Structure 1
Amino acid sequence: MDLRYVGYPVRIHAGDNSLSRINTELNRLKAKRVMIVCGNSIATKTNLIQRIKAIVDPSTRIVAVFDEAEASSPLPSIVKGVQMAKGLNIDCIISVGGGSSIVTTRGIIILLAENKSAFELCTQYPLNSPPLSPRLNAPKIPSISVVTTPTTATNRGGTALMDPETRTRLELFDPKTRPEAVIWDSEALLTATSELIISASSSLLTGVLAGLMTKSVLNPLSFNDLHGALKLLLVNLPLVLTDSHSADPRLNLCAASFLYNRACDGGVGGSSLGIVSAISHSIDTRFPQCSHGAAYSIITAPGIKFNAVANKSGMKRVFDTLIDFGALTPKVNSTLEISDWITGLFNDINMPVKLNEVGITRDDIETIATDSMEDFPIHSNVRKVTNPSEIVDLLSSVL
């Protein structure tokens, strides 16, 4: 076994009324001037902000609520949050919500500390050269995440902001922006619709499959994290729809998300389905009517087929795992069966599997292909992608 594992400290509180632990976490961080970051729907359609204010003692530690987090984390929203945080001398942020609130929080933390524009701090793509990701060395204020969906963004070090002028992504990376504590509160998770939970879980499912498809030998830590995450997903995804008033399936999906992120910390990358991530990033950034999860549900099956010949060992590992779970039966063409299975699963949980289901037409696919060639995961895809025409062909197969 050849293994290097680097863990990141995080405290997780889960279950009924786990939100009550937030005061203890603020005390641990010695936080005195706290800003809550959330979207407008969290602020106006749930009681989560009121619950937090009632728990925090003294309540005056909550000095601001920034409720302008938006899907895809557009840069103007981040800049407004930075201005508020700077003006109020904020020393800690509580993010409340799903991926958008979490990523917006990280974006605010980075720009607040680095005193440079996102364009200066983001990954650069020089022509005919590998991507360059600047080191973000400034100390960062801490954060706490109160999650409402099982998003993989929860405790990651990457931050993708949207440039609204071009509707493309600005990618920043700083592990110091990972949250100090994560709260999976039952009531908070039940504020999200079943459809939103399923959407967040769809990109998680693709990530777990990509991890299990890793071309190289998986170390036992990562393999068992991914194996456990996949089992949690397969059992609990249907329950979100059939038992929508129970928090347990949602809590289990949050656990699957954590296991997946831990596997990534253990060395699992996304190269086995890098093309899926790159295309999905382009789609959900450029087309606001398509959710993050929907982009993945559409592109995962054709991405599996695209990379199949270049990654036979990874395909076999996933095939064998799905047979062990009883999701598949042995057949000759494992690649075709995996792609058909994932398409069927996404259909069963009411996720789109064709571009026309989210309003994307043939006229759009060349733009998506061009965008995708400048997205970080495309450069590590297990099958080298050398020309946008390859992506055009893939997209054409799911119009």
Structure 2
Amino acid sequence: MIPFLDLKAQYQQIKPRVDEAIASVVASAQFVLGPEVTRFEDRFAAYCKVSHCRAVNSGTSALHLALLAAGVGPGDEVITVSMTFVATTAAILYSGARPVFVDVDPVTWTMDPALIEAAITPRTKAILPVHLHGLMAEMDPIMAIARRHGLVVIEDAAQAHGAEYRGRRAGSIGDLGCFSFYPGKNLGAYGEAGAIVTDRPDLVHKLSLLRDWGQAAKYDHVLPGYNYRMDGIQGAVLNVKMDYIESWTEARRAIAAHYDRLLAKCEFARPQPPAHSRHVYHVYAIGLSGRDEVLRSLQKSGIGAGIHYPVPVHLQKAYANLGYHAGDFPVTEHLAGTFLSLPIYPELTPENVAEVVTQLERAALVEAV
């Protein structure tokens, strides 16, 4: 059995330090925010090469607060993509705005900058690109369009901790960057957690207020806010993991390179990161016809493959009222029907990778016959 993800293996590697960090928070009784969270904010801001970080209780909360801090509200429109987890769309709706989708590029699988300007209307307030699977969107043209039209850019970097675009870290290029530390992420907490990073000092104070009931001081609520604070235990766990994030990232990249070599002669669509990007491989996805049968075959063989994502947001029942239909975004829909995510995590061995590829080739051959 080769699981899709093995968090237990990661825990065994860092168990003494994690156990000590958690026990320290329990002993201090600093359970909400507190010094471990503040320390993590400083470290993660430095890691992303930005000036400020505000830790929150989930990646969804990060997106929601970033939109609110940027002034997005009812009547506004936010341009984003449908090839993402539904949280991206949900956060826009939470703010009172309307998501406006554009298709993704068939090579990078991220937002196609060439389609953005046609989607801009007088109601457009922000652009929200999604860094899919660990590869950053083409940020330079996106930023150029945003500045030309006076729009805010919020990066959904939930899958892109440490990813780079022309030497700049995910979250550092747009006005705000949003991260998830869901346990399965490249940098994962032991529960729900998230963060917003920015170089804009005018937004940091508002983010601090919004995540803590709008309080400027205890019982002094200066604006409507939310209970979006990070737990102290999550801050402590993340501080331990910050010491490993780069080595884990390089391990993922080495595993992806091994997959690339073994799959070089196969007729599967594979990630094609531009030379100017650092892909951090939160997901290693390929594209192939007959995907569903291949997936079932792999699972029967003990290979924990998956799909990210099988139904794009614009075709989800929950968002039917947005008015989109099948055929509106052909690249997104094609990818959703062909994507297959292979196991990738730092502890995966070369032998594991070889076994995954062997079973994949066998399953694909059976499906082709």
TM range, smaller chain: 0.3 to 0.5
RCO higher in structure (CA 8 A, sep ≥6): 2
Higher helix share goes to which structure? 1
TM-score (norm 2): 0.35
TM-score (norm 1): 0.33
